[in-house]
Amino acid sequence: MKFTLRLVSAIWLSVMLVIGAFAYLQIRDERERLVGDLQRRAMLVSEGLSDAIEAAAAKQSPQAIERIVKKFGQSQRGIVVYDRFATQRFATPDIAPFLPPSLPEVTDAISRNTATQGFRVVGDRTRYIYATPLTADDQPVGAIAVLQDASYLERAEWDRWSYNAVRFLVLALVISVIIALVVKFSITRPMAEISSWTRALRSGRPVPPPRNVVDANMFGPLALEVSRLARSMQRAQAAAEQEAALRLAGESIWTEERLKQFVQMQLNGRLLVVVSNREPVSHVWRGGQIHAQAPASGLVTAMDPVMRACGGVWVAHASGDADRETADGRGRLGVPVDDPRYTLRRVWLSKEEEQGYYSGFSNEGLWPLCHIVHTRPVFRPDDWSYYLEVNQKFADTVLDQIKDAESPLVLIQDYHFAPLSALIKAERPDARVAIFWHIPWPNFEAFGICPWQRELLLGMLGADLIGFHTQYYCNNFLETVDRALEARIDWERFSVTRGEHTTYVKPFPISVAPEFVDDPPRVSRTELLRRLGIQAEFLGVGVERIDYTKGLPERIRALRFFFETYPEYRERLVFVQLAAPSRGMIDRYQEIQREVEDRVREINQAFQTKTWRPILYLKAHHEHRDIWAYYRHADFCMVTSLHDGMNLVAKEFVSVRDDEDGTLILSRFAGASHELRDALIVNPYDLAGMAEAVRAALEMPPEERRARMIRMRHSVVDHNIYRWAGLLLSELARIPVETTGAKAS
């Protein structure tokens, strides 16, 4: 209340000063205008009568002078004629009784032989006096004075002050009401909610933090820090409760807090740097404003929780058109933006570099090479040059970031950076470097297609540790090295030694965080269907980037075969496909996008009715909070990749299903199928087999669905992303630190 009074008082004072200043200037200008008007009228009357009075005086006709004075005199305007001694001779009857013996203006006019003016109280009124000398042979012989009533000037000034005073009071009252409401709804109420929430936390009750109560623009840094502290308290409390529950259950599950403590002990203050092409958050211009969005990337889904737990620096390609506006001069910003827990450092690439390194060599060359899905890889010398150039640029950025760090850990992500490990180790042999390959590694014959396979392998072997999703990919890699390079392969320890440097090759099946999103949206199935504008007894979902490795055309053909084979499910089942556009600058991706859209259109035209269509195709970027409701309320989720290193969509779906319901239909060619064996495993090329899996998912007894989901959830919870990161970092931290830069040629 005191704050509101102080705020209102300060604004009242400001408004009063502003209105008072403008009122003073306005009144001054108005008075000058009115005085000028008086002067013009008096001058016209005085100059008009002086000639007539001078003529009458020359004829020595007092009667003529008296008639002139009476004729032109009025109640608001008096006329007085004086002789050369400034003695009154003739005056308007209304004013004559109030005239003093002499007027200074008249005396000055006669003595100076020039017109004079001034204000003077005559009788009971303020009057404006304008005196003009009467002359004969250019010598003053008297004067004529015009006395205009000027009392209305004071009334006009007072009226103007009164008007501004009323305006001030009305404005102050309105501002006071508005301020009181703003303070109540924008400050008092949010602060009361925060206070109530902190009291609840202190009492030990698990109350979620109030939402949308902190406006950083209004509250400033203090309120922002309070909000971050509140979220930290909630995370700490949740982590403590989770750890206590796990101890009571006798379970040893990796959590965010456990990973954080583990990293602190293992790293002992050393810097952790993650390198990837994808950035965890990009900023884009939309509708004249900057918006943050998370990319549709399994890598980001996996690594963001790790970085939130461990801290450190994430080096990535700046992909958003507003990324420069949101970073500092070195391309750095805190992530998450509202509660920074690690640093993102962006690397700027030219269009030519991005086209050659990313679209060209990485995604037209290595991607189809490693995914055996009948798309021919394309290798161009120019793309290879850009690939090496960008890797050197990333190496320079990482080296700049770790220049003051002692024995840092560098975790490189994916096929975009095969040469990067060797570039970093060449300058910083004391750094522990790992590269995790998120996509499959083909057999040695397939990889031999690449003209630069030797250079890629040598670059990767610069790392201390190379990780793949499965042991099968590790075996393929070691066999490729054995066939392509001169090196010592230790099949028992799964290591490669060249010169004095040893690289370990281990499987680390990647996963997701147990919580797909913090504070998931409260969206019911009914509400979801209403938003989509559909009615359905059964709901299926697919979540993919539009990529030829994901098997989208095959899935749609299988769904068509299902509706043809089991017509009783028409108008009962709707399949929702969430499809994120990807790599649209590559011809093959444009082709697959058109093919998918054509397949969807064909099946809908074939089976849709006035109130139903079999497939709802939603092509857009979807945030995790948006996807949660689809995972949570779908009767089944289809993951039918033609070839995938892991595919985290399958694990995301399972992690969301805390209702222990729903069925996962999973491709045998996705790495996740090795862990989620209670999914309905399918061959994505077998349309009849996939259609039968859809039928089985819809008709599976609830007890069996629940038993399968419970077992899959145990697998995902036990082998979550925190465990993945803990095992990988533990393995990397155990590798001895090199003290020299010696490496094999």
The CA angle 212-215-218, to the nearest 5 degrees, is 155
Residue 675: count of CB within 10 angstroms of its CB: 22
Cα–Cα distance, 664 to 697 (Å, whole number): 8
The string over 616-634, giving b where at least 16 C-beta atoms fall within 10 Å of a residue's C-beta and e elsewhere, is bbeeebbebeebbbbbbbb
Q: How distant is the alpha carbon of residue 537 from its chain centre?
A: 37
Residue type present at position 683: N
**Do residues 598 and 557 touch, judged by C-beta distance below 8 A?**
no
Q: What is the pLDDT of residue 219?
A: 43
- In the block, tokens 């990837």 appear at 276
Residue 114 has pLDDT above 60, yes or no: yes
Q: Quickly state the pLDDT bin for 203 (edges 50, 70, 90).
A: low
Cα–Cα distance, 455 to 418 (Å, whole number): 9
Q: What is the pLDDT of residue 69?
A: 80
> Global pTM?
0.70
Q: Quickly state the pLDDT bin for 568 (edges 50, 70, 90).
A: very high
What confidence tens digit (pLDDT) does each residue in 523-536 have?
999 999 999 999 99
Mean pLDDT computed over 631-647:
96
The string over 385-408, giving b where at least 16 C-beta atoms fall within 10 Å of a residue's C-beta and e elsewhere, is ebbbebbebbbebbbebbeebebb
What confidence tens digit (pLDDT) does each residue in 415-442 have?
999 999 999 999 999 999 999 999 999 9
DSSP 300-366: HHHHHHHHHHH--EEEEE--STTHHHHS-TTSEEEESTTS--EEEEEE---HHHIIIIIIIIIIIII
Residue 699 has pLDDT above 80, yes or no: yes
Residue 573 buriedness (CB in 10 A; 0-12 / 13-18 / 19+): buried
Mean pLDDT computed over 55-59:
74
pLDDT mean across residues, the chain: 87
The string over 543-567, giving b where at least 16 C-beta atoms fall within 10 Å of a residue's C-beta and e elsewhere, is bbbbbbbbbbbbbbbbbbbbbeebe
Q: Quickly state the pLDDT bin for 109 (edges 50, 70, 90).
A: confident
DSSP 88-145: EEEE-TTTGGG--S--HHHHHHHHHTS-EEEEEEETTEEEEEEEEEEEETTEEEEEEE
Q: What is the pLDDT of residue 211?
A: 58
**Do residues 707 and 663 touch, judged by C-beta distance below 8 A?**
no
Cα–Cα distance, 552 to 591 (Å, whole number): 12
Mean pLDDT computed over 310-321:
93
H/E element, 67:
helix 62-72
If one compares 450 and 167, the residue with the highest pLDDT of the two is: 450
Judged by average pLDDT, the poorest of 83-92, 198-207, 340-349, 511-520 is: 198-207
Q: Tokens representing 353?
A: 């570099």
Beta strand 272-276 pairing with 282-286: unpaired
Range ranked top by mean pLDDT from 136-145, 249-258, 308-317? 308-317
Q: What is the pLDDT of residue 742?
A: 40
CATH class of 531-719: alpha beta
Q: Quickly state the pLDDT bin for 34 (edges 50, 70, 90).
A: confident
Q: Tokens representing 340?
A: 């920074």
User: What does CATH list as the number for 262-349+390-507?
Assistant: 3.40.50.2000
**Among 313, 250, 249, 252, residue whose Cα is nearest residue 280:** 313
What confidence tens digit (pLDDT) does each residue in 464-479 have?
999 999 999 999 999 9
Residue 683: count of CB within 10 angstroms of its CB: 16
Residue 221 has pLDDT above 60, yes or no: no
The CA angle 314-316-321, to the nearest 5 degrees, is 125
Residue 84 has pLDDT above 70, yes or no: yes
Mean pLDDT computed over 176-202:
71
Percent of the chain with pLDDT over 90: 54
* Distance in angstroms between the alpha carbons of the first and the last residue of the chain: 75
Q: What is the pLDDT of residue 198?
A: 65
Judged by average pLDDT, the poorest of 209-218, 353-362, 681-690 is: 209-218
Residue 105 has pLDDT above 90, yes or no: no
- The residues spanned by each domain of the chain are 2-155, 262-349+390-507, 531-719
CATH architecture of the domain with range 2-155: 2-Layer Sandwich (3.30)
Residue 661: count of CB within 10 angstroms of its CB: 14
DSSP 619-666: ES---HHHHHHHHHH-SEEEE--SSBS--HHHHHHHHH-TT---EEEE
Residue 201 has pLDDT above 60, yes or no: no
Cα–Cα distance, 729 to 742 (Å, whole number): 24
Residue 29 has pLDDT above 80, yes or no: yes
Q: Tokens representing 398?
A: 């990482």
Mean pLDDT computed over 367-373:
91
Residue 744 has pLDDT above 60, yes or no: no
- In the block, tokens 């301020």 appear at 179
Q: Quickly state the pLDDT bin for 239 (edges 50, 70, 90).
A: low
Phi-psi region of 137 (alpha: psi -120 to 50; beta: other; left: phi over 0): left
Q: Quickly state the pLDDT bin for 652 (edges 50, 70, 90).
A: very high
Q: Quickly state the pLDDT bin for 12 (edges 50, 70, 90).
A: confident
The string over 318-329, giving b where at least 16 C-beta atoms fall within 10 Å of a residue's C-beta and e elsewhere, is bbbebbeebbee
Do 262-349+390-507 and 531-719 come out as alike in CATH topology? yes
- With both helix axes pointing from N to C terminus, report the angle between 721-734 and 256-267 in degrees, rounded to the nearest 10: 10
